[in-house]
Amino acid sequence: MATVLTFRPRYAARLGNSAPYVARPYAGRVSRARGAGAIRARRRNILHDFNAPAAWAALTTFLWYAVGMVPVQIAVIGQFGLDRAQISSWMFIIWATGAVSSMVLSMAYRQPLATTSSLSALIFLGTLSGRFGFDDIAGANLMAGLLVIVLAVAGFGRRLLVWLPMPLAMAMLAGSIMADAMNVVATSVADASIAGVTVAGYVVGRMLRNPRVPPIGLALISGAAAVAVMHSANPEPVEWMLPSLDVPTMHFSVASFLAISLPLIVLSIGLGNVQGLGYLAEQGYRVPADRVTLVLGINSVVNAVFGGHTAQASRNGIPIMASPEAGPMHGRYWASLLVAVAMLAIALAAAPVTSLLAILPHSYVITLAGLAILPSFQDAMERAFGGALRFGSLVSFLVAATPFSMLGITSAFWALVLGLAAALVTDRTQLLMHWRGERAGAARREARLPVVIRPAAAARVAGDLRIPISATIRNLSPNGLLVHAEEQLLPGAQLEFLFRTPGGAELSMRADVRHVQHLQIESPEIWEAGCEFRESDAQSREQLVRFVLNHQDHQRSTKLAKAG
């Protein structure tokens, strides 16, 4: 029996008009046609996936990259006493490889799979400028990249996401970005004429609740208007210089491998995969962690050959581009594509771009970045403290929120270590159950989750409006399930879902809309009734997936049968 998603008529009234809400069909599917027709179909799908919220997310991420990363990179690289050609080669290669790999991964998987160079790794290298020569650091970068490739082939990227409990990872993410969220308050108080106007535009956008007018877009426009009126700057002329490629001399040693290469792997791959790819997985995407890790290893090797440092999945960019405010789930990869184009511009003209961005006041950029990260911060907090391992999540959050470095490694890594240790002491049973369950059924569940619900047609039944909606079952828990809708919904609204059980009975329950696309269905009875969920594609191929939850011991099992 198929799951029927039923929206009561009062939901349409909540939209402020009498017309019923009609959801758009899923448009991100790649055509299975062959030849020139397939190319045209793919092109149409890609163009149809473009949306304004993704473009706004891309612009915000670009400002975050350019203003938050480029000046730091130039400052740290300058500590090594390199000549202009070496600096140009370093800057060009780290931005060029990140842009190309972001385009390839995002197009291949239709996900905002953004890659960059690791800023944490670069800052770590800056602390070693007086202890190691640049030839030692270049050799250590190459060894780190080669080892990342080995780890990717061995399946380390996927196993890390499976083994690490997501509540701890989300707590680490929330703690790491909390300072950026708090900066919104500090800058608004210190510079109300610019930061305050930017925040006001964001609040107006949240009040409008219009998916075509995202809050961050209004914040960017209102803040830019305030900058134009209140701020004046005279940028210094910058000499245009095309990038050059320089292959540095490398020195390899056991000491540099232990002191540099191993921490680089932890900082770039460990934290990048957990924070960036982990957030993608929590948003309902099936993340190709091993393939992304392999690409990051290749990027790191190419970077090292031309004097650069290790690559990573974007820790701060992905939460912006993959958040619910970045538009429909199937079109968020457009944000990564647009940012990749901007990254190529940075690669070709790092110095002029830095000069132009220096015109923007610091308070405007900091406020905009903090507002862009707010949805991700809220989502991470809810996932960190909404389920099991709460004390471990609390420890992970507090450690990550405290800026410090120990043994040359930042607090984000130690947040995971101490969070796991705290969970092992206080929530040992839950943690061991998680590990045993993940090892026993990781491959089986990966093939079956998430389940996508795509009813074929809309109909009116008994006065109820049944709407075709593309949705993904994200999280399963003893209290119900979390559904991620492809379409934009009305935050704060209450919907009613009607499930048909295998025995033919109908089970009705309420669902609260979280953000603009999250539906929280809290009803353990759906498991006791043995509800079934149907997935069908354009060719009407169907799969029936039954979720059975034992409410006593919270053990979950999944049975899959094919029909049609």
200/155 same-domain check: yes
More confident residue, 466 or 253: 253
In a domain, 403, yes or no: no
Q: Is 88 among the domain residues?
A: yes
pLDDT score for 99: 94
Averaged pLDDT, 207-236:
74
Q: Select from 380, 398, 424 the last residue of a domain.
A: 380
What is the C-alpha separation between 125 and 139, in angstroms, rounded? 12
More confident residue, 482 or 282: 282
Q: How confident is the model at residue 104 (pLDDT cuts 50, 70, 90)?
A: very high
544 or 85: whose pLDDT is higher?
Answer: 85
pTM recorded for the entire structure: 0.58
Q: What pLDDT, on a 0 to 100 scale, did the predictor assign at position 32?
A: 40
Kindly state whether residue 428 falls inside one of the protein's structural domains: no
pLDDT confidence of residue 169: 77
Tell me whether residue 1 is in a domain: no
User: What's the chain's Rg over C-alpha atoms?
Assistant: 24
In degrees, to the nearest 5, what angle opens at C-alpha 512 toward C-alphas 510 and 517?
125
Cβ atoms of 369 and 64 within 8 Å: the answer is yes
From residue 476, alpha-carbon distances to 179, 433, 480, 481 in Å are 31, 15, 6, 5
Confidence of residue 196 (pLDDT cuts 50, 70, 90): confident
Q: How confident is the model at residue 237 (pLDDT cuts 50, 70, 90)?
A: low
Q: What is the mean pLDDT of residues 136-156?
A: 89
Instruction: Name which residue leads in pLDDT, 519 or 46.
Output: 46
The model's pLDDT over 378-395, given as tens digits with 9 standing for 90+, comes to: 877 887 887 778 899 899
280 plus 343 within the same structural domain = yes
Residue 255 has pLDDT above 60, yes or no: yes
Residue 444 lies in a domain: no
Same domain assignment for residues 92 and 240? yes
State yes or no: pLDDT of 288 exceeds 80: yes
Identify whether 401 is part of a domain.
no
Amino acid identity, position 143? M
Count structural domains, the chain: 2
- Domain of 272 in residue numbering reads as 52-380
Alpha-carbon gap, residue 36 to 237, rounded angstroms: 49
Q: Say yes or no: 128 and 10 in one domain.
A: no
Residues 366 and 464 in one domain: no
Same domain, yes or no, for 471 and 329?
A: no
* pLDDT tens-digit map of 304-332: 999 999 999 988 788 889 887 788 888 89
Give 212: exposed, middle or buried? Use CB within 10 Å, 0-12, 13-18, 19+: exposed
Whether 458 and 316 share a structural domain: no
Give the model's confidence band at 334: pLDDT under 50 very low, under 70 low, under 90 confident, else very high: very high
Domain end among 355, 380, 405: 380
Among 38-52, 81-95, 153-167, 276-290, name the one with the lowest average pLDDT: 38-52
Q: Is the peptide bond before 214 cis (omega within 30 degrees of 0)?
A: no
Question: Does the pLDDT value for residue 303 go beyond 90?
Answer: yes
Question: Among 347, 380, 413, where does a domain finish?
Answer: 380
Q: Indicate whether 290 and 187 sit together in one domain.
A: yes
- Is residue 196 domain-resident? yes
**Whole-number Cα distances in Å, 219 to 71, 185, 207, 400:** 24, 15, 13, 28
Shared-domain flag, residues 373 and 472: no
CA atoms within 13 A on the CB side of 326: 31
Co-location of 86 and 131 in the same domain:
yes
Residue listed under structure tokens 């019923």: 20
**Residue-level pLDDT at 113:** 92
pLDDT in tens, 24-82: 322 333 334 444 444 455 555 778 888 888 888 898 888 778 766 776 677 677 668 78
Tell the burial category of 433 from Cβ atoms under 10 Å away from its Cβ (0-12, 13-18, 19+).
Answer: middle
pLDDT for residue 339 = 94
One domain for residues 113 and 21: no
Domain-located, residue 446: no
Shared-domain flag, residues 178 and 277? yes
Q: What is the dihedral of CA 84, 88, 90, 91, to 10 degrees?
A: 130
Q: Give residue 256's pLDDT.
A: 83
Give the per-residue pLDDT at 115.
Answer: 93
For helices 156-163 and 289-305, angle between their N-to-C axes, nearest 10 degrees: 130
Is the per-residue pLDDT at 151 higher than 80?
yes
H/E stretch holding 510: strand 506-514
Q: How many other CB atoms are found less than 10 A from the CB of residue 291?
A: 16
Higher-pLDDT residue of 439 and 76 is 76
pLDDT for 442: 40
* Mean pLDDT taken over the chain: 69
Q: Region 102-122: what's the mean pLDDT?
A: 89
What six digits make up the tokens of 510?
């309420």
